Amino acid sequence: MGADTDERRPLWAPWRIEYIEKARGPQACIFCEPAASRSDRERLILHRGQTAFALLNRYPYAPGHLMVAPYAHTARLDELDGETQAELMALVARGARILEATYHCDGLNVGANLGAAAGAGFADHVHFHLVPRWRGDVNFMTSVGEIRVIPTHIERTLDELLPAFAEEAKR
- Active centre residues (catalytic): 127
Distance CA 49, CA 66 (A): 15
Phi, psi of 141 (to 5 degrees): -60, -40
Contacts of residue 13, Cβ cutoff 8 Å, sequence gap at least 6: 147
Distance CA 141, CA 149 (A): 7
Nearest CA-CA partner of 53 in 82, 95, 81: 95
> Across the strands, what pairs with 133?
107
